Amino acid sequence: PACFADNHVAMGLLQLILTAIVMVINQKFFISGFKGLIHRAPNMDTLVSIGTLSAYLYSIYSLTQIAAGNLHAVHALYFEGAGVVVALVRFGKHLEAVSKKKSMGAISALLQLRPDTAVLYKDGREMTIRVEEVTVGDLLVVRPGDHIPIDAVVVEGSANVDESMLSGESMPVKKRAGEEVIGGTIDLDGRLLIRCTKEMADTTLSHIISLVEEAQGKKAPIARIADRISLVFVPTVMAIAVVAGILWYIARGDIALSIQIFVSVLVIACPCALGLATPTAIMVGSGKAAQLGIFMKSGEALENAGEIDTILLDKTGTLTVGKPVVLSIVSDDPKKALYHAGTLEQGSKHPLAHAILEKCRQEGLQLPAIEHVETLSGLGLRADSEGHSIVLGNQELMKQSGCDIRSALPEMEAAARQGYSVIALGVDQQFCGFFVIADQLKSDTAQAIAQLKDMGITPVMVTGDHPLSAHAIARQAGIDEVIAKVLPQEKGEVVKRFQNEHKVAMVGDGINDAVALTQADVGIAIGSGSDVAVESADIILMKESIADVATAIRLSKAVIRNIHQNLFWAFFYNSIGIPIAAGVLYAFGGPLLSPVFAGAAMAFSSVCVVTNALRLRRFKA
């Protein structure tokens, strides 16, 4: 306001009040800082506390000088410097707080997989009870589309069960009487009667949750570079300020000169540049990452990503599209074969059915309505349509239906050996061809793997899938090392094994990856993945492409390099400025650095640091 233009006291008072508000709101820094000083373990908070408080107190002294008529003291007000440093360090603390919140988020997302209720079958009746009331030996009914409430064994019925939360495999698993089912998995298409085999606390899902909690608890926060440096820097600056003030008082007997030198040393060492070095670079780097579709949850994620030398990659949904597609149709009339297959698969929830129906949609086929499709357990489907008897399924079904597949058998078996799913089609007891279906490698996966290798990073596939399909995808992607048929709790152990000798990143998208994502030095989740994976990870790839893994690592290296540069210039400036503020030049007849110029030098160092950090905006993917 205009009323402050000529009223320097009023302007100073306004700055004093506003800065006091900022400092009171962020009083935790001062409490932590002085506790560190008392316990002889100064940290970044100590640096902020001493520097900003010294600048603030000297500014109050300068304000009293202005009120007494010394208008030159208006140049010695450092209220705004103190406020800005506290606010920016608060930003760095905010990033750390956001990182810590993920622990509860991951656990909450896992708990949501547990259904709240179960259908108890007792004395021929069905009744809904809370899942906590289920005990070992209880019979439960699971209907199509329901989550299986608890670990159990199938007593009656059969169904395809989606176990992707455990294995990551998009293909469902056929469950029959006598086979185990896992709590949290999904019954896709059949009524099951199951007998509970474990208490809630002992289930596979509960074990995964406890492993995630354990891994998160062990991941210690990485100390900031500035924190490590401040262990030496803070006591050194304090010692220089005190010794310089005492020596000048002894030499000149001038208490005003001694105070001026003491404050000049503290003001010029005020950690503006140091306080800005890390959070400013992280702020700009995180913003640039967001522009590139990469969400960095914390400063630790940025710091660690640049040190990665081994990357463990999940297969389904990470390297691959995550759902089966029809790769080829081997038939004399592929379109007609697709028409017949699509007719039978209408209404099915099976992923292979979805692949065939999606192919029909792409081809623009109009499929006829069909009243009844017979499901042949362990074989496939049979139905009558438009005067034809159609069968679709495995080799055994073809033999039982009188379809001669001998001519196509070598080709079908070769496809199966590569890890592909093969479905045969017969019409009116005549073999009409087969469909090769598989999860497909994402278009940019091979290029991304090659880029990681060029950066000196070793890619390793870690998957719950069958070794055949895992190795088939690995060959296409250019990955040499494959660890297949790995359960979720085992993935964390695999990460630990690699961490003995390497800095490890884990890239995944499924619930089954949560333990490994949390255990890894850097967990990287595909944005379209499960809530659990996203919550457990340190970095989220919003564009669903693992090419962004290499981009994230390169950006991390650029940010850390920028922080090192900022810290170098901050300390280079201090190594020159502090001796001058302590009166070294003045002792030899040179100028005495007043707090006014010390403040200007402090501001200049901050501008240099911010300008350097802003160069990160020019980073290109």
pLDDT tens for each residue of 549-569: 889 889 888 888 888 888 787
- pLDDT reported for residue 385: 85
The pLDDT of residue 469 is 79
Q: Please, which residues have CB within 8 angstroms of residue 46's CB and are 6 or more apart in sequence?
A: 32, 33, 34, 36, 37, 230, 234
How far apart (Å, rounded) are the C-alpha atoms in residues 30 and 52? 10
- Residue among 438, 335, 337 nearest 392 (CA): 337
| The pLDDT of residue 313 | 92
Most confident of the following: 4-13, 164-173, 358-367, 586-595: 358-367
Q: Where are the alpha helices (H) located in 293-444, listed in sequence order?
A: 299-305, 334-345, 351-363, 395-400, 409-417
538, pLDDT greater than 50: yes
Start-end of H helices in 439-587: 445-454, 467-477, 488-499, 514-519, 531-536, 547-581, 584-587
CA distance 183 to 203: 7
Of 111-120, 128-137, 530-539, 575-584, the least confident: 530-539
The single residue of 45, 146, 151, 314 carrying the catalytic annotation is 314
User: pLDDT at residue 365 above 60?
Assistant: yes
Q: Which residues contact 144 (CB under 8 A, 6 or more apart)?
A: 159, 187, 188, 189, 190, 191, 349
Q: Has residue 194 got a pLDDT over 90?
A: yes
Give percent of the chain above pLDDT 90: 18
Average pLDDT over residues 60-67: 86
Q: Helices 225-252 and 255-268 sit at what angle, rounded to 10 degrees?
A: 160
- Please provide the average confidence, as pLDDT, over all residues in the chain: 81
Active-site residue, 509 included: no
Question: What's the rounded mean pLDDT across residues 187-207?
Answer: 85
In this prediction, residues 52-63 reach a mean pLDDT of 82
- 217 pLDDT exceeds 60? no
| The two structure tokens encoding residue 544 | 């669903």
State what percent of residues in the chain have pLDDT above 70.
Answer: 84
pLDDT of residue 572: 80
541: confidence class by pLDDT, cuts 50, 70, 90:
confident
Alpha carbon of residue 527 to chain centroid: 9
Give the pLDDT confidence score for residue 221 in this predicted structure: 42
Q: How far apart are CA 353 and CA 132, in angstroms?
A: 36
- The predicted pLDDT at position 222 comes to 37
> What residue type is assigned to position 240 of the chain?
I
Between β-strands 430-441 and 320-330, what pairing exists: parallel, antiparallel or unpaired?
A: antiparallel
Residues near 590 by Cβ (< 8 Å), separated by ≥ 6? none
Q: How confident is the model at residue 261 (pLDDT cuts 50, 70, 90)?
A: confident
Q: How far is Cα 99 from Cα 600, in angstroms, rounded to an integer?
A: 36
Would you say residue 442 has pLDDT above 80? Answer: yes
Q: DSSP code of 256?
A: H
pLDDT(236) > 70:
yes
504 backbone dihedrals φ, ψ, rounded to 5°: -115, 135
Taking Cα atoms as reference points, which of 541, 490, 553 lies closest to residue 317? 541
When pLDDT is averaged across residues 112-141 and rounded to a whole number, the result is 88
Q: Above 50 in pLDDT, residue 450?
A: yes
The alpha carbon of 192 is separated from its chain's Cα centroid by a whole number of angstroms, namely: 37
Least-confidence region, from 242-251, 420-429, 504-513: 504-513
Map residue 261 onto helix, strand or coil: helix
204, containing H or E segment? helix 204-218
Neighbours of 256 (CB within 10 A): 9
pLDDT of amino acid 102: 45
* Beta partners for residue 120, in sequence order: 127, 140
Radius of gyration of the chain (CA): 34
Helical axes 351-363 vs 334-345, angle rounded to 10°: 130
Tell me what pLDDT residue 302 has: 75
Residue 195, burial from CB neighbour count under 10 angstroms (0-12, 13-18, 19+):
middle
Check residue 517 and give its pLDDT: 87
Lowest mean pLDDT: which of 31-35, 505-509, 593-597? 593-597
Amino acid letter, 10 = A
Task: Please state the φ and ψ torsions of residue 380, each to the nearest 5 degrees.
Answer: 155, -140
Contact 605, 570 (CB under 8 A): yes
CA distance 33 to 46: 4
Is it the case that residue 205 has pLDDT exceeding 90?
Answer: no
Stretch among 169-173, 197-201, 336-340, 411-415 having the lowest mean pLDDT: 169-173
Q: Is 552 helix (H, G, I), strand (E, B) or coil?
A: helix
Instruction: Report the residue count for the chain.
Output: 621
Is the pLDDT assigned to residue 91 strictly greater than 70?
Answer: no
Q: What is the pLDDT of residue 334?
A: 92
